[in-house]
A and B are shown apart, each in its own frame.
Chain A
Amino acid sequence: MSVAAFVVIAFMLAMYVLLDGYDLGVAAITPLVARSDAAREGSMRSIGPFWNGNEVWLIAAGGALFALFPAAYAASFSGFYLAFMVVLWLLMFRGIAMELRSHFPSEIWHQFWDACFAGSSTLLIVLFGIALGNLLRGVPLGPQGYFAGTFSELLNPYALLVGVFAVAALALHGTLFLIMRTQGPAAERARRLVLRQWIVVLVLYVAVSAATIADRGIRFSWIDAIPLLSLAALVWTLYASLHSQERRAFAGSCAWLASLMLTAAATIYPYLLPNLPPARGGISIFAAAPSPVALASALAVTIVGLAAVIVYGTLVLKRLAGKLSVEE
């Protein structure tokens, strides 16, 4: 049952990366492709109805972690106190930038919020990447499982590399979303950026993979098959994009990100928070889970609720799909 709970948490975080990933990516790419007030507003409108629901995947994953693995929730949130607070503040800035921009008709007002929006979103991606990097690498844990390092230790070269990789990957994801969802000069510029972005992503992917292998050593297992899947998805994304198959390209990018999340989950399993080598162990899914009765109850309400969300969310949001024309 702990394994099922781990799968649920990993699934929710993967959904967060796929969904909020594109709106964070759109925000990060907008300053590069949108050259006017109207175009930047178009970018925001392309994600307007969706971003809030997308972000709920993160908040719900936090709640689910609390219910499914209370010990891990407590140790990680308090251990990474400052990092979590910075993430919170950035999420706030991003949210109000999205919502308040349109409520006042002034270009200065718009420019300020556009900058906040792009800046906070990009920084959030970097921080999420750094968090993932540290999870993969392991973090120094004290005897009771609380984080025993410092904030600056979290900014190690490996984690920073993953942070940069995350920006590149989600920027590509957002670019493909923007191309699929809007038409106009900004979408055209985005289209011309795809190939260059793709190359950067590929290079960084190879670098991160090499660094991971250097860090962890090679242990052949079934996990090694997933990167083949990742590469296939990445190649498919470029192929579809170059052939103007916009939906397929975006779907390819989703598959690529999902395969990366799968690799990450398989790498840290069975830990939620692995200890930094050479120390062994960490907070495992078995130690962090509550009693079987409580875990079964939490799993049941989580899975039933998520199934319902996926069904009605898909049915409803499909009706808001379709292209937006964005003038410049």
Chain B
Amino acid sequence: MDVVAADRLQFAFTIMFHYLFPITTMGLVPFVASYTFQAARGDADAAKAASFWTKIFAINFAIGVVTGVPMEFQFGTNWAVFSAASGSVIGQPLAMEGIYAFFLESIFLGVLLYGKGRVARSLHVASAFAVWFGSWLSGFFIVATDAWMQHPVGYQISGGRIELTSLPAVLLSPFAWWQYVHVMCGAMVAGGFLVSGIGAYYLLSNRELDLGRRFVDGGVVVALVFSLLAVFPTGDRNSANVTQYQPVKLAAMEGLFESESGAPLAIIGMPDTRNGTLIDPIFVPDVLSFLAYGNFNANVKGLKAYATQLWPPVELTYYAYHVMVGLGTIFVAIAALAGLFLVRRTLFRTRSVLWLLLLVMPFPYIANEAGWMTTEVGRQPWIIYGIMRTAQGASPTVVTGETIFTLIGFAGMYFLLGVLFLYLVLREIAIGPSEASPHAAEVATA
């Protein structure tokens, strides 16, 4: 394996594992804040809910933090040439994440976990909202960093270095904002289905009935709203940006090899890059042209219009995109179905739909990861789109053996973290909100 492949493998592995936790952090924190707020107004059930979800949030947050630190370091350790060349631009949103978001999150999480009964109730509630704001802000800075690598703006090149000319241009880039709201929709769908799934589990097990109903109710509404927003307008606007700025990626995502007017949308099919066709496809005629350009006859360029060195890995990009879109559609259907039963007030006794809500829980995580894979794998062969190739960005002093060594280290460490996380969270769920002792920090300082 050459060193760039090893660096990429390590980055992909560590970021994909890490990202499982921010999804939950960002998707769950609105529920934590909302239950904490209701609890402060004297709602006893909400107090149990707040305590229960805060505990799960804290475990998740801890793993998110410890797996997040390597990400910021890896730009320097494994991608030194890229970092030295572009640090004046992407260093800024990354530094801002630390200074504006991480401090906010970690200081106020300390108050949220340790402050109950010690600080004024209003500060305790406010700290939940500050953690919410901080975690969403953190997401923004990361997406802004990535969006710049996808579509560089606000820079000039002088003396081989990429120099920032305008920070507002980087932070306010429309590419970044549409990507950000789409990412947040993805996290909220995961959060909504997580809460409704746990609620469904309690209802199906015939325990924690009041809280179970409350979780299902809140979770389904959130999942429905955000799964719709994920499709339109945010998904649609992201596609428009890709169409405009990254047409090769679009062709790979859709598995379109030949340029066509009235290009069809492939629902399924397996790309064959050697012969340049989709195997066993199901097409919907003309729809791709419409989705990309708003016109059923528009010409969409296929992969063959570009040199193969400019192609991203077609199979991964294609499957990742189709997994995301397919799951996204299923989420809308499940959330809408559950919403229908909710409106008719029969959801809480319709076991089949509750089962569906329970089983759908892990899939938003897959959809979120697949979405990022589409974005990042589809960006290849560029590390900065159109400016620097991934192969040029790696550290000159780090060899394959070192990266493989640390990759094995991360794999072992993350296996341990994954097992611990699942064990502790499943344990909390099994104990349930009513039986549970409060977070240890709350007892200790009360």
Identify the A interface with B (CB < 8 A): 41, 45, 48-50, 52-53, 55-56, 59-60, 62-64, 66-71, 73-79, 81-82, 84-85, 88-89, 91-92, 95-96, 98-100, 102-104, 142, 144, 146-147, 290-291, 293-295, 297-298, 301-302, 305-306, 308-309, 312-313, 316-317, 319-320, 322, 324
- A84-B73 Cα distance, complex, nearest whole Å: 8
How many angstroms between the C-alpha atoms of A215 and B9 in the bound complex? 43
Stretch at the interface among B39-47, B86-94, B325-333, B345-353: B86-94
Closest A residue to B397 by beta carbon equals: A146
B119 near A77 with CB under 8 A, answer: no
Q: Is the CB of A67 within 8 A of B94?
A: yes
| B115→A319 contact, CB < 8 A | yes
Report which of B164, B397, B417 forms a contact with A291, defined as CB distance below 8 A: B164
Q: How far is the CA of A251 from the CA of B58 in the complex (A)?
A: 31
Is A103 within 8 A of B409, CB to CB? no
Q: Is B98 an interface residue (CB 8 A)?
A: yes
Distance to closest chain A CB from B123 (angstroms): 7
B83 with A70: CB separation less than 8 A = yes
* A316–B99 CB distance below 8 A: no
Q: A70-B86, A85-B77 are in contact. List 13 more A-B contacts (CB 8 A).
A: A55-B106, A66-B72, A66-B76, A74-B395, A81-B77, A100-B424, A103-B424, A103-B427, A291-B163, A301-B96, A302-B99, A309-B107, A312-B107
Known contacts A49-B114, A100-B59, A298-B88: A60-B95 contact under CB 8 Å:
yes
The answer on a CB contact under 8 Å between A74 and B87 is yes
Known: A60-B99, A89-B409. Contact between A84 and B77, CB under 8 A? yes
Cβ–Cβ contact B99 & A294, under 8 A: no
Q: Tell me if B84 is interfacial: C-beta within 8 Å of chain A.
A: yes
Is B65 part of the binding interface, using a Cβ–Cβ cutoff of 8 Å? yes
Q: Is B220 an interface residue (CB 8 A)?
A: no
Q: B102 near A78 (CB under 8 angstroms)? A: no
CA distance A69 to B161 in the complex (A): 13
List the A side residues contacting B123 at CB < 8 Å.
316, 319
How far apart are the CA atoms of A68 and B244 in the complex, in Å? 33
A147 proximity list for chain B (CB < 8 A):
397
Q: Give the docked Cα–Cα distance between A70 and B118 (Å).
A: 43
Q: How many residues of B contact A (CB 8 A)?
A: 75
Q: Within the assembled complex, what's the spacing in Å between the Cα atoms of A68 and B87?
A: 8
Q: Are B95 and A41 in contact (CB under 8 A)?
A: no
Partner of B107, one of A53, A71, A91, A100: A53
**Are A103 and B440 closer than 8 Å at their CB atoms?**
yes
A56-B103 contact, Cβ under 8 Å, with A49-B114, A73-B91? yes
Q: A102–B397 contact, CB under 8 A?
A: no
Which chain B residues lie closer than 8 Å to A63 at the CB level? 72, 91, 94-99
Complex Cα distance, B89 from A89, in Å, reads 28
CA–CA, A290 to B109, complex, Å?
35
Shortest Cβ distance from residue B305 to the other chain A in the assembled complex, whole angstroms: 36
Given A63-B72, A74-B81: A290 in contact with B87 (beta carbons within 8 A): yes
20 interchain pairs (CB within 8 A)? A45-B441, A50-B110, A52-B110, A62-B76, A70-B85, A70-B88, A73-B87, A74-B76, A74-B395, A77-B80, A78-B395, A96-B417, A99-B62, A102-B440, A146-B80, A290-B164, A294-B165, A306-B99, A319-B111, A320-B114
B-side contacts of A79, CB under 8 Å: 397
CA distance A45 to B80 in the complex (A): 39
Chain A residues near B73 (CB, 8 Å)? 62, 77, 84, 88
The CB with the most chain A CB atoms within 10 A, among B55, B85, B103, is that of B103
Give Cα A98–Cα B106 distance, bound, in whole angstroms.
14
B339 interface residue, CB < 8 Å from A? no
Check B80 against A297 for contact (C-beta < 8 Å).
Answer: no
Least distance between B295 CB and chain A CB atoms (Å): 41
Say yes or no for B289: interface residue by CB 8 A criterion. Answer: no
Cβ contact within 8 Å between B164 and A293 = yes
> Please, how many angstroms separate the alpha-carbon atoms of A87 and B54 in the complex?
29
Q: Can you name the residue of chain A whose Cβ is closest to the Cβ of B97?
A: A63
Nearest-Cβ distance from residue B209 to partner chain A, whole angstroms: 26
Which B residues touch A322, using CB under 8 A? Answer: 118
- B227 interfacial by beta-carbon distance below 8 Å: no
For window 95-153 of B, CB contacts with A under 8 Å fall at 95-100, 102-103, 106-111, 113-115, 118-120, 123, 127
Residue on A with the closest CB to B167? A297
Contacts of A77 in B (CB 8 A): 73, 75-77, 80, 83
Closest chain-B Cβ to A41's Cβ sits at a distance in Å of 7
A103 to B423, CA, bound (A): 10
Contact A92 to B413, CB < 8 A, known contacts A45-B444, A45-B445 = yes
Does B294 make an interface contact (CB < 8 A)? no
Most buried by B among A41, A62, A82, A313: A62
Choose from A73, A91, A298 the contact partner of B92 (Cβ within 8 Å): A298
B238 at interface (Cβ–Cβ under 8 A)?
A: no
B210 at the interface (CB under 8 A from A): no
The answer to whether B109 and A52 touch across the interface, beta carbons within 8 angstroms, is yes
Tell me which residues across on chain A come within 8 A of B80, comparing CB atoms. Answer: 74-75, 77-78, 146
**Could you tell me if B83 and A74 are in contact, using CB atoms closer than 8 angstroms?**
yes
Task: Say yes or no: A305-B100 contact (C-beta < 8 A), given A48-B114, A73-B91.
Answer: yes
Q: Which residues of chain B are near A70, meaning CB under 8 Å?
A: 83-88, 91
Shortest B227–chain A CB gap in Å is 31
Are the CB atoms of B76 and A73 closer together than 8 Å? yes
Q: Is B67 an interface residue (CB 8 A)?
A: yes
For the complex, give the distance between the alpha carbons of A168 and B91 in Å.
35
